Structure 1
Amino acid sequence: MAELHQLTATQLLDGYRVKSFSPNEVAIALVEHVGAWEPHINALYAYQADTFISAAEDSTQRWAKGQPSGALDGVPVTLKELIATKGMPVPGGTGLGEQPISSQDAPSATRLDEDNALLLGKTTCPDFGMLSSGLSSFHGLTRNPWDLACNTGGSSSGAGAAAAAGFGPLHVGTDIGGSIRLPAAWCGVVGFKPSLGRVPIDPYYVGRCAGPMTRSVEDAALMMSTLARTDRRDAMRLPPEDIDWQNLTLDIKGLRIGVMMEAGCGLPLDDEIRHHVEQAAKQLEAAGATLVPLAPVLTRDMLDGLDRFWQARQWNELLKLSPEERERVLPAILAWADGGARLSGVEVVQGFQQTMVMRRVTEAVFEQVDAVISPTTPNIAFPAEWPSPTNDPRQPFEHIVYNVPWNMGEQPAISLNAGFSSSDMPIGVQLVGPRFADHFVLQLARQLEKRLALPLRWPSLPRDGAGI
Structure 2
Amino acid sequence: MDLARLPATELSALYAAGGTTPLEVLTAVEEVIDEREPELNALWVRDDPAQVLAQARAATDRWRDGEQLGPLDGIPLTLKENVARAGVPMPAGTAGVEPVVPTTDAPVTRRAREAGLVVVGSTTMPDWGMLSSGHSSRHGRTISPLDPAWGTGGSSSGAGVAAAAGYGPLHVGTDIGGSIRLPGTWLGLTTLKPSAGRIPLHAPYLGRVAGPMARSAADCALLLRALAGPDPVDWTSLPAQDLDPDTTRLDVSGLRVAVWSEPGCGVPPEDEVVGVARSVADRFADAGAEVVEIGPWLTQDVLDGIDLFWQARSWADLSRLDADVQARVLPYVADWARRASDATGTDVVDAYHCFGQLQAATVAAWAAAGDPDLLLSPVAPCAAPPAELMMPYPEQGMGHINFTVPWNMTGQPAGTVDAGRMPDGRPVGVQVVGRPFDDMGVLRALAWLEQG
Q: TM-score range by the shorter chain?
A: over 0.9
1:320 is displaced (CA, Å) by: 3.2
CA RMSD of aligned residues (A): 1.3
Query: 2:181 maps to which residue?
Result: 181
Query: 2:413 maps to which residue?
Result: 412
Give the distance between the partners of 1:384 and 1:280, measured in 2 at CA.
27
Q: Are 1:449 and 2:433 an aligned pair?
A: no
Work out which of the residue numbers 349, 373, 379 in structure 2 matches 1:370.
373
TM-superposition CA deviations, 1:147-198 (whole Å, max 9, x none): 1111101000001111111110000000000000000100000110011111
TM-superposition CA deviations, 1:70-95 (whole Å, max 9, x none): 33110000000010101111110014
Q: 2:18 is aligned with what amino acid?
A: K
Q: Are 1:331 and 2:334 an aligned pair?
A: no
Q: Are 1:396 and 2:397 an aligned pair?
A: yes
1:256 is displaced (CA, Å) by: 1.2
Q: Are 1:68 and 2:71 an aligned pair?
A: no
Query: 1:202 maps to which residue?
Result: 202
Q: 2:378 is aligned with what amino acid?
A: P
Q: Is the 8 A contact 1:70 1:114 kept in 2?
A: no
Q: Are 1:232 and 2:196 an aligned pair?
A: no
Q: Are 1:131 and 2:134 an aligned pair?
A: no
Q: Is the 8 A contact 2:92 2:99 kept in 1?
A: no
Q: 1:441 is aligned with what amino acid?
A: V
Query: 1:43 maps to which residue?
Result: 42
Give the distance between the partners of 1:153 and 1:100, measured in 2 at CA.
25
Query: 1:33 maps to which residue?
Result: 32
Q: Is the 8 A contact 1:359 1:410 kept in 2?
A: no
Query: 2:424 maps to which residue?
Result: 423
1:350 is displaced (CA, Å) by: 0.9
1:5 is displaced (CA, Å) by: 0.9
Q: Is the 8 A contact 1:297 1:358 kept in 2?
A: no
Give the distance between the partners of 1:98 and 1:143, measured in 2 at CA.
25
Give the distance between the partners of 2:110 and 2:347, measured in 1 at CA.
39
TM-superposition CA deviations, 1:389-414 (whole Å, max 9, x none): 1133xx22111111011111111100
Query: 1:53 maps to which residue?
Result: 53
Give the distance between the partners of 1:198 and 1:363, measured in 2 at CA.
19
Q: Is the 8 A contact 2:263 2:297 kept in 1?
A: yes
Query: 1:465 maps to which residue?
Result: none
1:144 is displaced (CA, Å) by: 1.0
Query: 1:288 maps to which residue?
Result: 288
Give the distance between the partners of 1:101 and 1:242, measured in 2 at CA.
34
1:296 is displaced (CA, Å) by: 2.0
Q: 1:139 is aligned with what amino acid?
A: H
1:31 is displaced (CA, Å) by: 0.8
1:293 is displaced (CA, Å) by: 0.9
Identify which range, 413-422 or 266-275, moves more after superposition. Answer: 266-275
Give the distance between the partners of 1:190 and 1:242, measured in 2 at CA.
22
1:271 is displaced (CA, Å) by: 2.1
Query: 2:314 maps to which residue?
Result: 314
Give the distance between the partners of 1:349 and 1:110, measured in 2 at CA.
36
1:107 is displaced (CA, Å) by: 1.1
1:236 is displaced (CA, Å) by: 1.1
Give the distance between the partners of 2:167 and 2:417, measured in 1 at CA.
18
Q: Is the 8 A contact 2:247 2:447 kept in 1?
A: no
Runs of 5+ unmatched residues, structure 2: none
What SS does structure 1 have at the residue aligned with 2:46? coil
**Which stretches of structure 1, 4 residues or longer, exceed 4 Å deviation after superposition?**
none
Give the distance between the partners of 2:276 and 2:150, measured in 1 at CA.
20
1:297 is displaced (CA, Å) by: 2.8
1:247 is displaced (CA, Å) by: 4.8
Q: Is the 8 A contact 2:255 2:289 kept in 1?
A: yes
What SS does structure 1 have at the residue aligned with 2:133? coil
What SS does structure 1 have at the residue aligned with 2:174? strand
Give the distance between the partners of 2:78 and 2:249, measured in 1 at CA.
28
Q: 2:383 is aligned with what amino acid?
A: I
1:380 is displaced (CA, Å) by: 1.1
Give the distance between the partners of 2:256 and 2:316, measured in 1 at CA.
43
1:54 is displaced (CA, Å) by: 2.2
Q: Is the 8 A contact 1:86 1:101 kept in 2?
A: yes
TM-superposition CA deviations, 1:266-296 (whole Å, max 9, x none): 2221222122111111111111111101112
Q: Are 1:92 and 2:92 an aligned pair?
A: yes
Superposition TM-score, scaled by structure 2 size: 0.97
Q: Where do residues 269-308 of structure 1 align in structure 2 (5 Å cutoff)? A: 269-308=269-308
Identify which range, 180-189 or 275-284, moves more after superposition. Answer: 275-284
Give the distance between the partners of 1:320 and 1:93, measured in 2 at CA.
17
Give the distance between the partners of 1:210 and 1:6, measured in 2 at CA.
23
Q: 2:420 is aligned with what amino acid?
A: G
1:387 is displaced (CA, Å) by: 0.9
TM-superposition CA deviations, 1:116-158 (whole Å, max 9, x none): 1000111100000111110000011001111111110100000
What SS does structure 2 have at the residue aligned with 1:400? coil
Give the distance between the partners of 1:51 and 1:225, measured in 2 at CA.
26
Runs of 5+ unmatched residues, structure 1: 454-468
Give the distance between the partners of 1:271 and 1:81, measured in 2 at CA.
35
Query: 1:461 maps to which residue?
Result: none
Identity among equivalent positions (%) equals: 44
1:250 is displaced (CA, Å) by: 1.6
Give the distance between the partners of 1:243 and 1:101, measured in 2 at CA.
33
Give the distance between the partners of 2:320 and 2:89, measured in 1 at CA.
17
Give the distance between the partners of 2:157 and 2:99, measured in 1 at CA.
21
Superposition TM-score, scaled by structure 1 size: 0.93
What SS does structure 1 have at the residue aligned with 2:291? strand
Q: 1:11 is aligned with what amino acid?
A: E
Q: Where do residues 133-152 of structure 1 align in structure 2 (5 Å cutoff)? A: 133-152=133-152
1:227 is displaced (CA, Å) by: 1.1
TM-superposition CA deviations, 1:298-354 (whole Å, max 9, x none): 210110010111111111111332221111101111111111111111111111111
Query: 1:380 maps to which residue?
Result: 383
